[in-house]
Amino acid sequence: MESTNLTKQFKFGILALLVTGSIASAYLYRGFPAVSEARATTSVASLSQETDNIPTITLPDFAEIARIQGPAVVNISVSGSVKTGFSGSHGFPQVDPSDPFYDFFRRFQPPSPQNSVPTHGLGSGFIVDSDGIILTNAHVVSDADEVIVKLIDKREFKAKVLGIDKLSDVAVLKIEAKDLQTVKIGDPQNARVGEWVIAIGSPFGFENTVTAGIISAKSRSLPDEGYVPFLQTDVAVNPGNSGGPLFNTNGEVIGINSQIYSRSGGYQGLSFAIPINVAMNVEKQLLDHGKVNRGRLGVMIQQVNQQLAETFGLDKPVGALVSSVEKGSPAENAGIMPGDVILKFNGKDISRSAELPPLVSELSPGTAATIEIWRKGKAKTIKMNLGEMKVASSKDNSTKDDQAKLGLSLRPLTPEELSQADVQGGLLVENVIDGPAARAGIRSGDVILSVNGEKTGSIEELRKLVQKNGKRMALLIMRGEQQMFVPINLG
């Protein structure tokens, strides 16, 4: 309809020019005025000249990349079982097995407490060694009892999990096969924002699906994923794509598709890939040592905003602000203090705090490091040897789990915040997730000072107090200039 109206208006404009020879003053399309014949001629010539100077954009040959690299991409299916936490029938009617509706009702009835529920999952992967070494995501095969790998020629193999690294979300598999086609490995550091990339994987089980897009950003840090500098893309990635390769236009793998940001559970324009150099380093360590060794400073850091930059005398908000230093850590031994701003690590500028953890963790424990810090208005260089990062065991329930019990995202107060609040310690509530704390009325910006009368100034202290006090506790919080107790029920 709009096109028809546009055609009519265009004809009307031409007719007016022919009959009267005057300049058409009508608006032809959404407020753009008509132009005189002389101006139109000049504009067309000028436009033609400008167009000649614009480089021609040629799309990559996606079909050729898919044809050549597709056979090295595999489909992964996993199966396992999980223990159920149900007790009793929860009010569901007990149905006699002889009842004709028994099978129908049984589908909706919770399992008994002793039962295990079978689980199944799908993912993707790609072959990096012709003797059957495959890379995928750790979350695809974690806790699986059986892993089946299907090749593009429909052959299926039972895979052995050689190693899993949950911090980077990388897993290494092995199948008993020879002379397999492998992918070409590229260098993600040479990738540029705006470049075309394609993904091959099995979204929702649709094997060897090809999707394309561009690199949207580099070195992205995601919540709770601080050790991977993700590649952000707008390539369509959905459940089942996890573990599949991200190719550049040369047909080289530059990343492993790992995560999406979504409110619906499906693709919404934001997908994230683990840089392949990070994954290959993890693969080598898993094959050589059975685990990944990472360097450690022993500090808690936060982003430097404009207000903090002005407070510390920095020209602009850069670096990683040290909010606390672990006792006995390499950082403390080297003389790093709360309030220091780390500007460089081994000569590399730290523009955002999220850039520091990946740089440290990619180095081996014991590696010598040179750190440039900003302290009391002056730059200072500190030399130190990195420690070893220790990954908490599953029995410890980790700090993240204890914060999740409360439904809070927390961090220690900075020295400046402690001074302003006139307190000796506390934890700032950065975000409140739906949970016990939210139901009790805790808000973002509150400061937790104690749990059941015992002071807490660190995440570790909070963890111990939460475990100690069980399901009921009273948090002393500071809100503005007021202090108040808030009862929390974790039940």
One DSSP character per residue, 252-305 reads EEEEEEEEE--SSSS--S-EEEEEHHHHHHHHHHHHHHSS---EE--EEEEE--
- Can you say how many angstroms the Cα of residue 345 is from the centroid of all Cα atoms in its chain? 23
CB-CB neighbours of 184 under 10 Å: 15
- Please say whether the dihedral angle defined by the alpha carbons of residues 189, 194, 196 and 198, taken in this order, is positive or negative: positive
Alpha-carbon gap, residue 200 to 211, rounded angstroms:
7
Q: Is 271 a catalytic residue?
A: no
3-state secondary structure of 403: helix
Q: Is 120 a catalytic residue?
A: no
Residue labelled with tokens 């149900």: 86
Phi, psi of 463 (to 5 degrees): -55, -45
| Six token digits for residue 338 | 């709360």
Q: Say if CB 234 and CB 212 are below 8 A apart.
A: no
Q: Between the CA of residue 153 and those of 73, 150, 201, what are the distances in Å?
A: 11, 8, 15
3-state secondary structure of 332: helix
Instruction: Specify the pairing of strand 196-201 against strand 209-222.
Output: antiparallel
Candidate list 139, 398, 409, 458, residue with the active-site label: 139
Instruction: Specify the pairing of strand 160-165 against strand 156-158.
Output: unpaired
Q: Is 139 a catalytic residue?
A: yes
| Burial class (CB within 10 angstroms; exposed 0-12, middle 13-18, buried 19+) of 469 | middle
| Six token digits for residue 210 | 């090809």
Task: Spell out the alpha helix ranges (H) of 318-355.
Answer: 330-334
Q: Say if CB 342 and CB 320 are below 8 A apart.
A: yes
Candidate list 124, 165, 168, 169, residue with the active-site label: 169
Give the residue among 298, 340, 304, 296 at the shortest CA–CA distance from 458.
298
Q: What angle do CA 116, 122, 128 make, to 5 degrees?
A: 125
3-state secondary structure of 79: strand
Alpha-carbon gap, residue 129 to 248, rounded angstroms:
20
Q: How many CA atoms lie within 13 A of 10 on its CB side?
A: 7
Alpha-carbon gap, residue 299 to 338, rounded angstroms:
9
Single-letter residue type at 362: E
Longest Cα–Cα distance of the chain, Å, equals 93
Q: What angle do CA 25, 27, 29 make, to 5 degrees?
A: 155
Single-letter residue type at 60: P
Candidate list 124, 221, 242, 324, residue with the active-site label: 242
Active-site annotation, residues = 139, 169, 242
